[in-house]
Amino acid sequence: MDGNTPASADGADVTSALGMSAGMRHSLTRGPRKAGGRAATLTAVLLAATLGISGCSGSPEPEPSSSSASVPAPAPTATADVAEAIGGTPPPLDPGAFAHGDFVGALQIDYLGDRSSASAQAADAAYNAFFQGNYDGPYPGKSTVLRLTAMGDPRDGDRLLRLGAVIDNITDPNSLVIGIHNVMTIDGSVELNGQVFDQNVAGASGVLEIGDRITIWTPNETPGAVNRYVYEVVNPDGGDAAYSVVDADANIDTFIYRESPSNDFFQLTTYICWPPNQLAQRLVTRLKLVESSIEPGSVLPFDPA
């Protein structure tokens, strides 16, 4: 398998899995963002299927996961520019500002719940069954940090997902969409506030509960400062579940690429393949922005020699 054509679990490339001819595969392009944040339907379908399939491809054998340490408090920087920037509010995170393959920052997942909800227990049981007990699951206070890369061409999804998580660069700032690898060990590393996080198993850190948080860290234009965007898990469709499970053969782009309910509601949608390392469904989590700030610190791609 080359770096440009993601494969499904049975070895078929993504465009074949979507029933596209060889000629169509070479003519696919990304559509522009439309008013209201909706991408072209074909683009959204292709991206949703690509991220989901490539996020599940690879060996079906269980692999041990690696926990990442909690992010340390960033050390203050004494420069006047940083001091002036700190405490301010960063502009909304606009994925359209990034080209395909650009480094965006870091994705920090914080587990705050006690895992007692029915949805959390069901998800944890599915992961435990897949890993056959060799699984370092989430617990209150656990934190996982992943590299975040911009996605502009879904045909390159497999390579980018192996670096960590990908953010779709065709959506608007109030309707972010992020794809996360499910169970495979990832290759990408990121340095956040002076600490390196590498060799994580992304999605296998578990499914979030309502109240759990995801923080996106991006470089600020002032060296020595970072933008911090904190999102909290909300219920996606009513009831008390923290996520929705959508059949892969359904119109999943309509659900995953759902617009924010209002211009001032900044929404983040994440999804992974479900059940673990399978292609039948997508597990979708919805979050809302609860705070943002400019902090002292740094976030950099880390590529060991």
Domain range annotation of the chain: 14-302
For the chain, the straight-line distance linking the first and the last C-alpha, in angstroms and rounded, comes to 23
Percent of the chain with pLDDT over 90: 33
Residue 237: the pLDDT is 67
Residue 210 has pLDDT above 70, yes or no: yes
Residue 98: the pLDDT is 97
Q: Which fold has domain 14-302?
A: Sortase; Chain: A; (2.40.260)
Other residues' Cβ atoms within 10 Å of the Cβ of residue 248:
18
Reading the block at residue 101, the tokens are 């393959």
What average pLDDT does the chain have? 75
How much is the average pLDDT of 76-96? 81
